[in-house]
Amino acid sequence: MLYRECGVFKSTYAEDMAIFPLPLDKWGMGILLIVAFLVIPMTADRYLLTSIMIPFLIYSLSTLGLNILTGYSGQLSLGHAAFMAVGAYTAFNLSARLDLPILLCFLGGGLMSAAIGSLFGIPSVRIKGFYLIVATLAAQFTIEWVITHWAWVSGENVLGAIDTPPMEILGRSIDTPVEKYLLTLVVVIVLTIFAKNLVRGKIGRAWMSIRDKAVASEIIGVSQFRYKLLAFSVSSFYAGVAGALIAFCHLGCVQVTEFELLLSFWILGMVIIGGMGSILGSFLGAGFMVLLPIYINRVVRMMAGVVPSDILTNLELMIFGGLIIFFLIVEPYGLARLWLIIKGKLRLWPIPY
């Protein structure tokens, strides 16, 4: 009853093929955007913006990138964090050395990451599954090594750390949390719409066909080489931009250790928990992995007096791990599928007949 197609008459294919064919979805998205653009910037405190919203958005973007590669195209990768590092360090160099406008730096970071990502994607034409994971691990280690050993990359810093120069857009400096949040939000929204358009069109179908049945997809006319490399480069582009955002809008000063293998695992975890092959899933997965630990931490801290502190820190991890397992058992296809099921139920609720 609350959520239904009934009474929504579409008379053209263009209407049927819109991203949100139902009015309720359009309204929901509109409200969400109003909250994101107006309510949060006006009411949120520094902590909510810098520690929750900005990382949530950035990791969503990065997860979206990996989802394009793993969820849509079926190619496994454990080098995603390294591609984020490429984006961060490239954007830093473009900004610090060439003094380019900040958006161009982000774009450059993404493009550089896309180039390197597609280079490491070449093995995917011949190998798949676990073997491809090992090949992408090579990307992770090679890139980390290059950044720590080639001092030029990090501007001759001994630790390989970069301190991002101040940002400016059209002469207006971006330095307060609200401004950084809005910049991140705009970048994430633009790239999300772009990704949504890609995956619902010819390219997305070709990616999914490779994932579902490679032989049939090749016989239909999909060049495996071209589309796998395209998936790697688009995915790495998103990782690169996310990395640049982490450096410029989130942390301000980053080291290579921010982008080590563990982060690759985390992002893969976000993809799996959120839902493979789902744009919404990327956001839900990132939300789960970024927000949940924070709230678990708050709840656990309330028990500070009762439980000894050494157990307390481990308790956090245990609850988090338990919740991951719980959600994977409840819905192995991820939170996005859970949302679809809820939507399906809402079509009849509360009057089932």
Phi, psi of 148 (to 5 degrees): -75, -30
What DSSP letter does each residue of 85-117 carry, written as one string? HHHHHHHHHHHHHH---HHHHHHHHHHHHHHHH
Tell whether residue 201 is a contact of other proteins (CB under 8 A). yes
Q: Which helix (H) or strand (E) holds 172?
A: strand 172-174
Question: Alpha-carbon distance 188 to 207, whole Å?
Answer: 22
Contact stretch for other proteins (CB under 8 A) within 61-69, 137-145, 148-156, 207-215: 207-215
Tell whether residue 221 is a contact of other proteins (CB under 8 A). yes
Closer of 39 and 220 to other proteins (Cβ): 220
Tell whether residue 128 is a contact of other proteins (CB under 8 A). no
Closer of 177 and 281 to other proteins (Cβ): 281
Tell whether residue 9 is a contact of other proteins (CB under 8 A). no
Sole binder of other proteins in the list 149, 202, 305, 350 (CB under 8 A): 202
Restricted to residues 274-303, the positions that interact with other proteins (CB under 8 A) are 277
Contact stretch for other proteins (CB under 8 A) within 47-55, 152-160, 190-198, 264-272: 190-198
Q: 111, exposed or middle or buried, with CB in 10 Å at 0-12, 13-18, 19+?
A: middle
Closer of 220 and 317 to other proteins (Cβ): 220
Question: Alpha-carbon distance 81 to 87, whole Å?
Answer: 10
Contact stretch for other proteins (CB under 8 A) within 50-58, 112-120, 193-201, 313-321: 193-201
* Local structure of 168: helix, strand or coil: strand
Closer of 168 and 331 to other proteins (Cβ): 331
Contact stretch for other proteins (CB under 8 A) within 36-44, 75-83, 205-213, 312-320: 205-213
Give the chain's radius of gyration (CA, Å).
21
Q: Any idea which residue has 């139920």 for tokens?
A: 345
DSSP class of residue 151 equals G
Tell whether residue 63 is a contact of other proteins (CB under 8 A). no
Residue 86, CA distances (Å) to 56, 89, 128, 184, 258 in order: 20, 5, 24, 18, 12
Total residues found in the chain within this entry = 353
Restricted to residues 321-350, the positions that interact with other proteins (CB under 8 A) are none
Question: Alpha-carbon distance 198 to 164, whole Å?
Answer: 32
Tell whether residue 148 is a contact of other proteins (CB under 8 A). no
Question: Alpha-carbon distance 268 to 266, whole Å?
Answer: 5
Q: Please report how close the Cβ of residue 233 comes to other proteins at its closest, in angstroms.
A: 10
Sole binder of other proteins in the list 6, 42, 158, 215 (CB under 8 A): 215
Q: Please report how close the Cβ of residue 252 comes to other proteins at its closest, in angstroms.
A: 30
Q: Please report how close the Cβ of residue 12 comes to other proteins at its closest, in angstroms.
A: 8
Q: Are 70 and 77 in contact (CB under 8 A)?
A: yes
Q: Are 210 and 228 in contact (CB under 8 A)?
A: yes
DSSP class of residue 39 equals I
Sign of CA dihedral 11, 339, 74, 138: positive
**Which residues sit opposite 173 in a β-bridge?**
168
Tell whether residue 205 is a contact of other proteins (CB under 8 A). yes
Tell whether residue 39 is a contact of other proteins (CB under 8 A). no
Q: Please report how close the Cβ of residue 30 comes to other proteins at its closest, in angstroms.
A: 19
* Local structure of 162: helix, strand or coil: strand
Q: Please report how close the Cβ of residue 230 comes to other proteins at its closest, in angstroms.
A: 8
Tell whether residue 203 is a contact of other proteins (CB under 8 A). yes
Restricted to residues 230-259, the positions that interact with other proteins (CB under 8 A) are 230
Sole binder of other proteins in the list 67, 75, 93, 217 (CB under 8 A): 217
Sole binder of other proteins in the list 212, 321, 322, 342 (CB under 8 A): 212
* Site for other proteins, rule CB under 8 A: 13-14, 16-17, 194-195, 197-198, 201-203, 205-206, 208-209, 211-213, 215-224, 230, 277
